């Protein structure tokens, strides 16, 4: 055995990060031990603190360190509009656009029966009780334009209709600033089917 | 602020890993908190243990958790041959080839004055005292074939000669199993210049 056991353990632990293979894990471990032991200590602490303190918002399932996330506990947001997304990164992207003042619901994934991800894992029960409160009037479905994302949106739309809430889907089409000739066929088909009257 | 502070800290800490940008760091943090909190705890522990226990071999500067690494403390290795490499990964690569029974010296880098890496950072003093012991008879220079690697090899070769030790450079040429037509010009030039007589 060439490397000390604790170094081998570190390489193994780094390999469990998404997108990190054996070579990258080794490079990361060497970098931390050779050049940046301070960063290694900092990362260890940050991991422990995050695991201890980061939970989910009880209302929207967003990452939060309190019962409610900053958006759900804010009085300046409109609770009658609910935007349903797949991941916390989607919330961050929409917030950065600065064009939305409603609330969110984070599924933390999409329906994928083969991976064992069903309505329970995505918090559909929690979503239904939110719908049942009678505050939400429109549910904006902002799941990804993948087969699974579309299926998830479809199922949630049915639940919304059952609660007399208006479901809507974000528009799919040509990106702003995008040139038509470089846009893929699927997006163009969406853009044509979703055309809006100017008259 | 959308994410809890401890989540932001975790993303920042992950960004200090080599090859990890803001998007990957976010993906890693979300993965650990959503799907694999056990891995997060394991990584935190592995980091702390590695920082505490992994040091350098006093003889060859290889990562080790004792005063000497397994190779330097082994009685079955030939201490009269010293292979000088840039990184611990190079030691692992040569060991895997199973074709070397001598000892190593790990520089942990190459001469790079602009980055503040000089003879002191690469342990030249330690290398000279090893040479002065009178045990080493051949120093095999296995630094990389980059400008910095060649310069480092050149300087060490001069030190070796001063101690009446025979310096040698590993052969550079066409990889075994490689097809000539796909080999780059620099490698071919090396292969031609380093041709060996069959007669």
Q: How confident is the model at residue A166 (pLDDT cuts 50, 70, 90)?
A: very high
Percent of chain A with pLDDT over 70: 99
B32-86 pLDDT, tens per residue?
988 888 889 999 999 999 998 999 999 999 999 889 998 998 899 999 999 999 9
Nearest to B19 among A24, A32, A70 (CB): A24
Q: Which residues contact B31 (CB under 8 A, 6 or more apart)?
A: A17, A18
pLDDT of residue B171: 86
pTM score of the predicted model: 0.77
Confidence of residue B194 (pLDDT cuts 50, 70, 90): confident
Pick one of 1.10.8.420, 3.40.50.2300, 3.90.1300.10, 3.30.390.30 as the CATH number of B5-53: 1.10.8.420
Residues in B touching A27 (Cβ below 8 Å): 18-19, 89
Which whole number is the average pLDDT over B27-31? 90
Predicted local distance difference test score (pLDDT) of residue A140? 92
Confidence of residue B139 (pLDDT cuts 50, 70, 90): very high
Tell me the pLDDT of chain B averaged across its residues. 89
Distance from CA of B25 to the nearest CA of A (A): 10
Average pLDDT over every residue of B178-192: 82
Q: How large a percentage of chain A has pLDDT more than 90? A: 48
Name the segment(s) of chain A with CATH classification 3.40.1360.10.
Answer: 63-173+181-193
Instruction: Name the B residues in 25-44 with CB < 8 Å from any A CB.
Output: 26-34, 36-37, 39-44
B191 pLDDT band (50/70/90 cuts)? Answer: confident
Query: Which has the minimum average pLDDT: A68-82, A170-184, B94-108?
Result: A170-184
**Residue A1, pLDDT above cutoff 70:** no
Of A10, A52, A64, the CB nearest to B46: A10
Contact flag B40-A29 (C-beta cutoff 8 Å): no
Q: What is the pLDDT of residues B99-113, one digit of tens each?
A: 899 999 999 999 998
Q: From chain B, pick out residues whose CB is under 8 angstroms from the CB of A50.
A: 6-7, 9-10, 29, 32-33, 40
Instruction: Quote the pLDDT of residue B11.
Output: 93
Closest listed residue to residue A170, CA positions, set A61, A81, A62: A81
How far is Cα A142 from Cα A167, in angstroms, rounded to an integer?
11
A93 touching B (Cβ < 8 Å): no
Instruction: List, in sequence order, the alpha helices (H) in B76-118.
Output: 88-97
Cα end-to-end distance, chain B, whole Å = 76
Strands B63-64 and B55-56: antiparallel
Q: What is the mean pLDDT of chain A?
A: 89
Helix (H) or strand (E) holding A192: helix A185-193
Q: Given this structure, which CATH class describes domain B63-173+181-193?
A: alpha beta
- The continuous run of DSSP H or E covering B85 comes out as strand B78-85
Residue B122 is classified by DSSP as T
Q: Nearest CA to A124 among A72, A84, A173?
A: A84
Say which residue, A137 or B1, is predicted with more confidence.
A137
Interface test with B, best of A11, A12, A14, A17 (most B CBs within 10 A): A17
Residue B1 confidence (pLDDT): 66
Q: How confident is the model at residue A127 (pLDDT cuts 50, 70, 90)?
A: very high
For the cut 80, the answer to whether the pLDDT of residue A178 exceeds it is: no
Q: Which of A22-31, B6-15, B75-84, B181-190 has the lowest mean pLDDT?
A: B181-190
Let me know if B41 is exposed, middle or buried by CB neighbors in 10 A (0-12, 13-18, 19+). Answer: middle
Alpha carbon dihedral B105, B106, B109, B113, in 10-degree steps, equals -40
Q: Which of A19-23, B108-112, B190-194 comes out lowest in average pLDDT? A: B190-194
Whether pLDDT at A186 is above 70: yes
Start and end residues for every CATH 1.10.8.420 domain found in chain B: 5-53
Q: Is B163 helix (H, G, I), strand (E, B) or coil?
A: coil
CB-CB under 8 Å, B48 with A9: no
Helix axes A22-35, A5-15, angle to 10 degrees: 130
CB contact under 8 Å between A14 and B43, yes or no, is: yes
Q: Closest Cα partner for A83 from A160, A1, A22, A198?
A: A160
- Interchain proximity A53–B14, CB inside 8 Å: no
Residue A168 to residue A142: CA distance in whole angstroms: 9
Looking at the predicted structure, is the pLDDT value of residue B179 above 70?
A: yes
Give Cβ neighbours of residue B69 (< 8 Å, ≥ 6 apart): B57, B59, B60, B62, B63
pLDDT band at A172 (very low <50, low <70, confident <90, very high): confident
């Amino acid at each position: 055995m060439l490397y000390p056991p604790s170094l081998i353990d570190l390489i193994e632990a780094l390999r469990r990060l998404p997108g990190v293979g054996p070579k990258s894990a080794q490079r990361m471990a060497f970098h931390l031990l050779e050049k940046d032991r301070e960063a290694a200590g900092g990362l260890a602490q940050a991991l422990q603190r995050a695991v201890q303190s980061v939970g989910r918002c009880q209302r929207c399932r967003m990452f939060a360190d309190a019962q409610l996330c900053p958006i759900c506990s804010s009085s300046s947001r409109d609770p009658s509009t609910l935007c349903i997304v797949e991941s916390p990164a989607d919330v961050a992207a929409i917030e950065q656009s600065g064009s939305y003042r409603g609330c969110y619901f984070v599924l933390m994934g999409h329906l994928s029966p083969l991976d064992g991800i069903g309505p329970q894992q995505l918090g559909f029960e929690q979503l239904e009780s939110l719908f049942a409160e009678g505050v939400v009037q429109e549910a904006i479905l902002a799941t990804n334009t993948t087969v699974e994302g579309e299926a998830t949106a479809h199922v949630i739309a049915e639940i919304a209709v059952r609660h007399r809430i208006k479901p809507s889907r974000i528009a799919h089409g040509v990106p702003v600033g995008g040139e038509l000739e470089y846009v893929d066929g699927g997006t163009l088909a969406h853009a044509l089917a979703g055309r809006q009257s100017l008259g």
